């Protein structure tokens, strides 16, 4: 299909599937879905390299099947891959607003600001204050994703965040929402909660999704990832609680109970997020829930959440105000509508002004786009250059004789300048060495903030009713590779030395930290230490080798329980 100026191509890349949508602009800023395709990703989400390769392969298959030629495409990335934060700023003039937002981004984004792609959006104002949505993603992650898309033959033109694309789709299609509405996007890796109230939006990502159910089935039946996924698709539904009769199939019964177990955990996280939104963000109680996402269509999910939350639950329809081409079967699009809300939100970015417009396009792609715009000027410049060369050739032929006479004088001068150049190169080398040392010292403040960021990250993952008793480094001797970042960190004083801790001779490195804490038994549900361990495994600082090393059963009359977790660092830190 040839590219037309009124076409909009969207690509919603989730953890478990790739959704491509082809939209057409209509008169009056209207929008119509002309074609779409959905491909599941069979690779284990834990294997990122295989997943990126499968994304490229899936896009190529769709383009070949739909006969779509290479053209610009609008992308969206999952909410769990993006760090988002709502900050409230004092009212200032436009000339100072950018500076304050830059400062807030450096303070709130948990990565060095030069290692992320970030953007912001003014989304409303409170009493004399301005609400700003910050969004950031690691440059490495988004560049790998855009490279995979480019390898399939498409040109990334915009990168949106999936929850914000869904928010734009809801705002466009629903005009009669309650004062506070909660959109629950249940995906493969995570669930995005999007609170919509007045002109405000607040989103939160929960690490519970379809893959959580698959992993539960893997453990329950001792299956591989792909076999467990097939079993989930064949038999999954939310089991009825209480005295309901179990299914006749024992397999279906066990699968449904695994699903209910995960949905119960999801319900707990939703309840906690609602309480957080109401207390910390001064929001209202949701009067309606809109379900979307691939996992949301597991049978009885809406009934389960409605029963548990006591809130009206419906499925999100992104095509209330978006036309669908008559060639697309109504039943088919009805069964896939829960997967296309993000695609509709992306297409709206090119057809009208949206409430939230974020763009996490990597800098290198922006530079390539700007370079392509200059192609016509380059062509004209080349033609002009050729004409100039021809004119000058004639002129230089006339000067050839004079040039030979001056050549001998110039060669003598060149030899004298060559000696001066040699000395200048030596000085340039010295200046370059000094500049490199200065840059390494200038990076010291960022590196020294590592421990503060780590402690803040640990504290943010504690459940209510839990507190830290101590955080101790686990030391061991190790010889780092020459010139490594850990070697540089140690040289700059990034290591943490706890009072009273002996330091043996030889290079010392912190490979892990030992976290000791306590929990009120009447405030913290059973398994709080396990949830904290799982939360630490998802931290950017610790690996999946993080384990609970001690969690003794407290005496019957005790009101607190202690625990000890050994959190293994992804990158050892030199002392």
Other CB atoms within 10 A of residue 543 CB: 14
Q: Of all helices (H) and strands (E), which one includes residue 533?
A: helix 528-537
The pLDDT of residue 506 is: 56
pLDDT beyond 50 at 574: yes
Q: Is 392 exposed, middle or buried (0-12, 13-18, 19+ CB in 10 A)?
A: exposed
Q: Model confidence at 127, in pLDDT bands (50, 70, 90)?
A: low
Q: Say if pTM beats, i.e. exceeds, 0.75.
A: no
Residues 12 and 154 in one domain: yes
Same domain, 280 and 238: yes
Tell which of 269, 300, 317 closes a domain.
317
Q: What pLDDT does residue 351 have?
A: 87
Q: Nearest CA to 484 among 557, 389, 572?
A: 572
388 domain-assigned: no
Q: Are residues 400 and 429 in the same domain?
A: yes
Identify whether residues 43 and 93 lie together within a single domain.
yes
SS3 content of the chain, % helix, strand, coil (to 5): 45, 25, 30
Is 70 in contact with 154 (CB distance < 8 Å)?
yes
Q: Is the pLDDT of residue 500 over 50?
A: no
User: Residue 17 above 70 pLDDT?
Assistant: yes
For 275, phi then psi, to 5°, come to -65, -40
Tell me the C-alpha distance between 238 and 297, whole Å: 10
CA distance 302 to 482: 57
Question: Would you mind telling me the total number of residues written for the chain in this entry?
Answer: 575
* Partner residues linked to 8 by β-bridges: 23
List, for residues 291-313, the tens digit of each pLDDT value: 999 899 999 999 999 999 999 99
Q: Strand 130-138 and strand 72-77: pairing? A: unpaired
The per-residue DSSP string of 240-271 comes to: --TTPPPPSSHHHHHHHHHHHHHHHHHHHHHH
pLDDT, tens digit, for every residue of 255-268?
A: 998 999 999 999 99
Does residue 385 sit within a domain? no
Q: What is the CATH number of the domain that holds 90?
A: 3.30.420.380
Is residue 313 one of the residues assigned to a domain? yes
Band of pLDDT at residue 126, cut at 50, 70 and 90: low
Q: What is the pLDDT of residues 229-283, one digit of tens each?
A: 889 888 888 887 765 666 778 888 889 989 999 999 999 999 999 999 999 888 8
Structural domains counted in the chain? 4
DSSP states of 162-203: HHHHHHHHHHHH-SS--SEEEEEEE-SS-EEEEEEETTEEEE
pLDDT value at residue 24: 93
Tell me how crowded residue 518 is: count the other CB atoms within 10 A of its CB.
Answer: 17
- 71, part of any domain: yes
- At which of 317, 347, 362 does a domain end? 317
Range of the domain at 354: 1-174+320-373
Q: Compute the half-sphere exposure of residue 88: CA atoms within 13 Å on the CB side of its CA.
A: 11
Q: Based on the fold, state whether residues 417 and 464 are members of the same structural domain.
A: no
533-to-79, 83, 398, 542, 562 alpha-carbon distances in Å: 22, 21, 82, 10, 14
Mean pLDDT of the chain: 84
- Asked whether residue 215 is assigned to any structural domain, the reply reads yes
Our CA angle for 381, 387, 390, nearest 5°, is 140
- At 110, the pLDDT band (50, 70, 90 cuts) reads confident
Q: How confident is the model over 476-502, as a mean pLDDT?
A: 46
* Tens digit of each residue's pLDDT (9 = 90 or more) over 396-424: 887 887 878 788 888 888 888 888 888 88
Cα 260 from chain centroid (whole Å)? 28
């Amino acid at each position: 299909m040839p590219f037309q100026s009124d076409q909009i191509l969207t690509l919603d890349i989730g953890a478990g599937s790739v959704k491509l949508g082809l939209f057409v602009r209509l008169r009056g800023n209207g929008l119509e879905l002309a074609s779409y395709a959905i491909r599941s990703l069979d690779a284990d989400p834990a294997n990122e390299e295989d997943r990126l390769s499968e994304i490229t392969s899936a896009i190529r298959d769709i383009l070949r099947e739909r006969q779509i030629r290479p053209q610009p495409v609008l992308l969206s990335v999952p909410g769990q891959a993006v760090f988002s934060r709502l900050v409230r700023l004092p009212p200032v003039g436009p000339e100072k607003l950018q500076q304050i937002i830059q400062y807030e981004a450096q303070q709130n984004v948990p990565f060095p600001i030069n290692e992320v792609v970030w953007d912001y959006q003014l989304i409303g104002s409170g009493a004399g204050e301005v609400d700003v949505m910050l969004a950031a993603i690691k440059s490495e992650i988004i560049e790998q994703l855009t490279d995979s898309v480019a390898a399939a033959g498409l040109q990334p033109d915009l990168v949106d965040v999936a929850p914000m694309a869904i928010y734009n789709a809801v705002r466009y299609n629903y005009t009669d929402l309650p004062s506070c509405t909660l959109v629950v996007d249940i995906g493969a890796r995570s669930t995005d909660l999007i609170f919509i109230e007045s002109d405000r939006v607040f989103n939160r990502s929960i690490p519970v999704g379809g893959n959580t159910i698959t992993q539960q089935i893997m453990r329950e039946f001792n299956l591989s990832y792909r076999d467990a996924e097939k079993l989930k698709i064949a038999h999954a539904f939310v089991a009825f609680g209480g005295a309901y009769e179990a299914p006749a199939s024992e397999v279906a019964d066990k699968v449904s109970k695994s699903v209910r177990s995960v949905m119960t955990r999801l319900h707990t996280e939703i309840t906690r997020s609602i309480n957080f939104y109401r207390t910390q963000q001064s929001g209202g109680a949701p009067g309606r829930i809109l379900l979307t996402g691939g996992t949301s269509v597991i049978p009885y999910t809406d009934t389960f959440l409605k029963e548990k939350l006591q809130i009206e639950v419906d499925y999100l329809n992104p095509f209330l105000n978006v036309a669908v081409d008559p060639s697309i079967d109504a039943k088919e699009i009805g069964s896939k509508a829960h997967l296309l809300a993000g695609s509709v939100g992306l297409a709206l970015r090119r057809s009208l002004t949206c409430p939230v417009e974020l763009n996490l396009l990597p800098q290198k792609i922006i530079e390539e786009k700007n370079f392509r715009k200059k192609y016509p000027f380059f062509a004209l410049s080349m033609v002009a250059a050729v004409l100039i060369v021809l004119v000058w050739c004639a002129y230089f032929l006339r000067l050839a004789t004079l040039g030979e006479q001056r050549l001998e004088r110039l060669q003598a001068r060149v030899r004298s300048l060559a000696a001066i150049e040699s000395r200048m190169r030596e000085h340039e080398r010295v200046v370059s060495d000094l500049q490199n040392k200065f840059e390494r010292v200038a990076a010291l403040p960022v590196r020294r903030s590592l421990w503060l960021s780590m402690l803040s990250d640990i504290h943010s993952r504690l459940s209510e009713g839990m507190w830290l008793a101590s955080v101790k480094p686990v030391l061991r001797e190790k010889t780092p590779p020459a010139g490594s970042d850990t070697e540089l960190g140690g040289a700059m004083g990034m290591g943490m030395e706890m009072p009273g801790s002996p330091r043996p001779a030889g290079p010392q490195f912190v490979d892990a930290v030992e976290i000791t804490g306590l929990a009120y038994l009447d405030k913290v549900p059973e398994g709080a230490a396990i949830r904290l361990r799982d939360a630490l495994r998802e931290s950017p600082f610790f690996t999946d080798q993080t384990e609970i090393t001690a969690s003794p059963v407290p005496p019957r009359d005790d009101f607190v329980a202690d625990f000890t977790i050994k959190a293994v660092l992804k990158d050892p830190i030199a002392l």
